[in-house]
Structure 1
Amino acid sequence: MCDGFFYRGKNVAVIGNGEYALHEAGALTEIAASVTILSNGEEKKIDVPENIHFSDKKIRKITGDEKVREIVFEDDSTLSIDGIFVAVGIAGSTALAKKLGVITEGNNIAVDDNMATNIPGLYCAGDCTGGLLQVSKSVYDGAKAGTEMVKFLRNNKK
């Protein structure tokens, strides 16, 4: 949650309705005054702890001048908010990796410090490896994996 610190002591919302949204909301509870997961009209698919609010109301609009201030729902109710985080979908999938025989740890692909998996020449980067689910980390991981792949290919020419 690289932007979370901007919302210390503030009210935030996470738009989503899966494990990814729950993960992001959980991280924000350490920083924000209150965290609400908004499923935008979808039925709840996750078990939400008591310290996180949940709403399945459909969002009509988000208001504010230079900053987000309020979410207006289809039923005309509102939620005062200081920030919104979007966490729709899943953070990563290991189905293909498992089929290839790659070692996984929970829902993450296991890699070493060079982003290498247990299969020689196969590298992974980004959200599928776990840790911080942030673009900046994924970019770094990708650059590292790419560099290590080039080294591997140069050292294993036939």
Structure 2
Amino acid sequence: MATHTTRMLIIGSGPAGLSAAIYGARAGMEPIVVQGLQPGGQLTITTDVENYPGFRDVIQGPWLMQEMQAQAEHVGTRMMWDTIVDVDIASGSPFRAVGDSGDEYIGDTLVIATGAQAKWLGVPGEQELSGKGVSACATCDGFFYRGKKVAVIGGGNTAVEEALYLTNHSEDVTLIHRRDELRAEKILQDRLFAHPRITVIWNKAVDRFIGDPASGGLTGLALRDTVTGEMSEFATEGAFVAIGHAPSTELFKGKLETDESGYLVVEAGTPKTAVPGVFACGDVMDHTYRQAVTAAGTGCMAALDAERFLASLDFARNQQKKEAAASA
């Protein structure tokens, strides 16, 4: 077992965590990034990325994360292959975390960038056809389905927003919901029902995604009527599962404030949590945008605020030393 100390401890290695690391390292904080169960975050399971600034051509998600990690390491970040299983926040700075390896990590500041995971239906064909017609992010992948027939599965705000967004690319969008009414806000429902490119199918649940991952990808959905049990098939070239996201905040339950959906609560417009020196960035605190570029932006903000916190902390510690020396 070993103990690792740093001025900035970062939990999570997606765009938010690595951006925080890059800025933190350039500020001389010698950050440590504990990568977690999914090094690189959700982008490592995303194939084509066409909306990240700075690239004219389509790039691959795993490649982008490899480049971010290489840049973070180049400027002085230490990457640790470990998963944090416990963290002490209540005692204040320095913050202590314990890895699954048994190693201890101590940071004067703590940056939480554990992200969020899209909720999936868990039915046959879903994972096999992921990236080949099945997606959980319309704003990420909708462009690839321009001019094609697409379906959105869900009935809350996320599903309605994704359906409305997809009308920018498709003239044939179908929302499929397992109940006979939506859970989305009324203003969103009004926009959905008024849109000429959107059709709603009620009381239908997806039992299976149909298609061949090796050739052509998704071709349709096997639907089960939730009232009669009758089965039917729905032909589509793209299906977007939009039943919400689950932020990875289990580690911080009872230690940091979360909202009703489980996202970490931060001061408006900042990555600051209620605990001085603890910052949250990326999808773990953002239930609205959930994009790689916004995650990277909040990672930058977390590093800059961590630097300011450390400057104040160092000043206070120096003052205490001067007072102690003067009274000796």
TM-score normalised to the size of structure 1? Answer: 0.70
% identity of equivalent residues: 27
CA distance in structure 2 between the aligned counterparts of 1:141 and 1:124, rounded to whole angstroms: 12
Change (3 A) 1:35 1:59: same
- SS at structure 2 position matched to 1:6: helix
User: Which residue of structure 1 aligns with residue 179 of structure 2?
Assistant: 42
Q: CA deviation at 1:54?
A: 1.7
Q: Greater shift after overlay, 139-148 or 67-76?
A: 139-148
Structure 2: give runs of 5+ residues left out of the alignment.
1-138, 225-229, 248-257, 317-328
- Cross-structure match for 1:107: none
Q: Aligned partners of 1:146 and 1:101: how far apart in 2?
A: 11
What TM-score do the two structures reach when normalised by structure 2? 0.37
Instruction: Name 1:133's counterpart in structure 2.
Output: 290
Alpha-carbon distance in structure 2 between the residues aligned to 1:87 and 1:72: 17
In structure 1, the partner of 2:22 is none
Q: Among 225, 228, 233, which residue is 1:78 paired with? A: 233
**Structure 1 unaligned residues grouped into runs of 5+:** 103-109
Q: Which has the higher contact order (CA 8 A, sep 6+)?
A: 2
Q: Which secondary structure state, in structure 1, belongs to the residue aligned with residue 158 of structure 2? A: helix
Equivalent position of 2:306 in the other structure: 150
User: 1:91 deviation in Å?
Assistant: 8.7
Q: Supply the distance in 2 between the matched residues of 1:5 and 1:15 (Cα, whole angstroms).
A: 18
CA distance in 1, matches of 2:166, 2:309: 41
d(CA) in 2 for partners of 1:64 and 1:101?
Answer: 42
* Structure of larger gyration radius: 2
The equivalent of 1:32 in structure 2 is 170
Distance 1:91 1:30, change over 3 A: farther
**Correspondence 1:18 to 2:156:** yes
Residue 32 of structure 1 aligns with an amino acid whose one-letter code is S
Question: Which amino acid in the other structure matches residue 16 of structure 1?
Answer: G
Q: Distance in 2 between matches of 1:101 and 1:3?
A: 29
Matched AA of 2:293 = K
Give the Å deviation of 1:90: 6.2
Change (3 A) 1:60 1:130: closer
* Number of aligned residues: 142
**In structure 2, what is the Cα distance between the partners aligned to 1:27 and 1:91?**
21
SS in 1 for 2:240: strand
The AA in structure 2 aligned to 1:64 is G
| Structure with the higher fraction of residues in strand conformation | 2
**Aligned mate of 1:53, from 170, 193, 199:** 199
The RMSD of aligned alpha carbons is 3.2
Q: What SS class does the counterpart of residue 164 from structure 2 fall into?
A: helix
